[in-house]
């Protein structure tokens, strides 16, 4: 379904640009509030007297609550206030949860029964960007169809109330307590862990949980100033994490992205593990114990074919979706699966959290380490990756792939050459102006040459910046 503003994970772009600004954020909040009314309520007010905005003094006429969290970007408080103004204009009561990881907001929606959740974040993007993520009832991300319906209400031009937000404490403490309960008290006594919180919203959560469990935590990216989120740190930049693990002789390294829904790990040797390796470790352990629901792991087309082979060897099967953790979640719900995720580090345990949760993922891997007595460097051997290379080309315009004859011809030729021994994936990023290329095959040289062919063909038809 075509959507103009929503990508694979909410609405995102440069702060102060044509989309991510206070005026649009208010319109988007108002549009989401209109969707929450439901068709019956909308029919009653259509063509009639405009409904007054929510009375902030007593919440008279409220049709429900929306919980709003934000990351540490300098622009997040301004966008939070604007979104709240839009919801108030649609008679939805806005509640601020303050700086909070995305999975903590999703959990708060599920626990409190709120009508909707919103996170002001651009996830792993730099501080100059920002975005708006939505959760529906139960803390589940919205479907493409729902996002398209919300976009249909963007032209509503009500007069909106002055910005206001009621702040409610407790969501952060509840999230910390719940995460801490995943391991026995004192389970990490004697553990030295390097933790990279990306100068983002996990600075107040992940260190607290790990220390409460007894770990010695060495922090990286733990001094947010509004403009340093993801700046050379976090899950997109694990080099510093790996070096620090080696220097400190740590047992484990953990890196989040700016809003905390991703997890990248580093073993005791300073080698980085991606989401595919994390998912394989967790699925193999669950299959061995007979606890993987339906014996299914759900992942995306981006994941390495080695995941399929490893899971099949352990007695399970892999189901794949389009790229985007919400598509993984949708498939998990449809299949009754409880474990899924992406190679980027979004890991979903539906029995614990309704969305990807970087801290929960790390704790679940630690649980496997504790149960088996094996270091992460040994556990990661469960996945033998097929040779794979990727590239991301920043483009001026996302022209439809079918209008790029050189690229489509290169894709067909490479697919024919690889046959069943590999695969090719070419797609535009849903959150950035990038064309993403992936080639997987039986040998490094074949993969390298194939990716070079795709890059050359892409540059022939696109303006690459």
Residues classed as catalytic = 123
Closest CA to 159 of 27, 20, 24: 27
Residues 358, 238: contact at Cβ < 8 Å? no
Beta strands in 280-411 (DSSP E): 296-300, 317-321, 339-341, 347-349, 388-394
Q: How many helices (H) and strands (E) does the chain have?
A: 14, 18
Closest CA to 214 of 182, 247, 192: 192
Beta strands in 288-338 (DSSP E): 296-300, 317-321
Cα 282 to its chain centre, rounded Å, is 19
Residues 235, 257: contact at Cβ < 8 Å? yes
Q: For the residues of 343-356, what is the DSSP string, one character each?
A: TTS-EEETTT-SS-
Residues 110, 135: contact at Cβ < 8 Å? no
Partners of 141 in the β-ladder: 135
Q: For the residues of 24-86, what is the DSSP string, one character each?
A: HHHHHHHHHHHHHHHHHHHHHHTTSPPPPPPBTTTTBT---EEEEEE-S-TTHHHHHHHHHHH
Between the two ends of the chain, the Cα-to-Cα distance in Å is 29
User: Using the 8-state DSSP alphabet, how is residue 461 labeled?
Assistant: H
Residues 209, 176: contact at Cβ < 8 Å? yes
Non-local (6+) Cβ contacts of 196 within 8 A are 219, 220, 221, 233, 234, 235, 238, 240, 241, 253, 254, 255, 256
Residues 72, 100: contact at Cβ < 8 Å? no
């Amino acid at each position: 379904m075509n959507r103009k503003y929503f990508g694979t994970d909410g609405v995102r772009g440069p702060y102060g640009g044509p989309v991510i600004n206070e005026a649009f954020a208010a319109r988007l909040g108002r549009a989401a509030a209109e969707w929450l009314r439901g068709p019956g309520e909308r029919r009653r007010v259509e063509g009639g007297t405009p409904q007054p905005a929510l009375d902030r003094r007593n919440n008279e006429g409220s049709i429900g609550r929306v919980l709003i969290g934000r990351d540490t970007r300098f622009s997040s408080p301004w966008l939070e206030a604007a979104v709240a103004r839009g919801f108030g204009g649609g008679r939805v009561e806005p509640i601020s949860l303050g700086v909070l990881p995305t999975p903590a907001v999703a959990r708060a929606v599920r626990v409190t029964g709120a009508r909707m959740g919103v996170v002001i974040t651009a996830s792993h993007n730099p501080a100059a960007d920002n975005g708006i993520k939505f959760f529906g009832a139960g803390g589940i991300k919205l479907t493409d169809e729902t996002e398209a319906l919300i976009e249909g209400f963007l032209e509503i031009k009500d007069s909106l109330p002055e910005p206001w937000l009621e702040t409610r404490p407790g969501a952060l403490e509840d999230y910390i307590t719940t995460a801490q309960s995943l391991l026995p008290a004192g389970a990490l006594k004697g553990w030295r862990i390097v933790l990279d919180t990306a100068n983002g919203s996990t600075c107040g959560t992940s260190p607290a949980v790990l220390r409460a469990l007894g770990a010695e935590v060495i922090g990286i990216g733990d001094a947010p100033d509004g403009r340093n989120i993801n700046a050379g740190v976090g899950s997109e930049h694990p080099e510093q994490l790996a070096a620090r693990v080696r220097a400190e002789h740590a047992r484990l390294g953990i890196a989040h992205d700016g809003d905390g829904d991703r997890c990248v790990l580093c073993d005791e040797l300073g080698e980085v593990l991606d989401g595919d390796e994390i998912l394989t470790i967790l699925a193999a352990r669950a299959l061995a114990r007979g606890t993987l629901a339906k014996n299914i792991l759900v992942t995306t087309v981006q994941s390495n074919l080695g995941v399929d082979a490893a899971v099949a060897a352990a007695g399970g099967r892999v189901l794949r979706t389009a790229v985007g953790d919400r598509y993984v979640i949708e498939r998990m719900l449809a299949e009754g699966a409880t474990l899924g995720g992406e190679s980027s580090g979004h890991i979903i345990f539906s029995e614990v959290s309704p969305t990807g949760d970087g801290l929960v993922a790390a704790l679940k891997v630690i649980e496997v380490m504790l149960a088996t007595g094996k270091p992460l460097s040994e556990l990661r051997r469960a996945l033998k990756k097929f040779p794979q290379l990727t590239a991301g080309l920043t483009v001026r315009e996302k022209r439809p792939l079918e209008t790029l004859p050189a690229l489509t011809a290169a894709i067909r030729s490479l697919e024919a050459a690889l046959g069943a021994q590999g695969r090719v994936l070419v797609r535009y990023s849903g959150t950035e102006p990038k064309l993403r290329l992936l080639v997987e095959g039986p040998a490094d040289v074949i993969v390298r040459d194939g990716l070079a062919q795709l890059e050359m063909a892409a540059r022939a038809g696109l303006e690459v910046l």
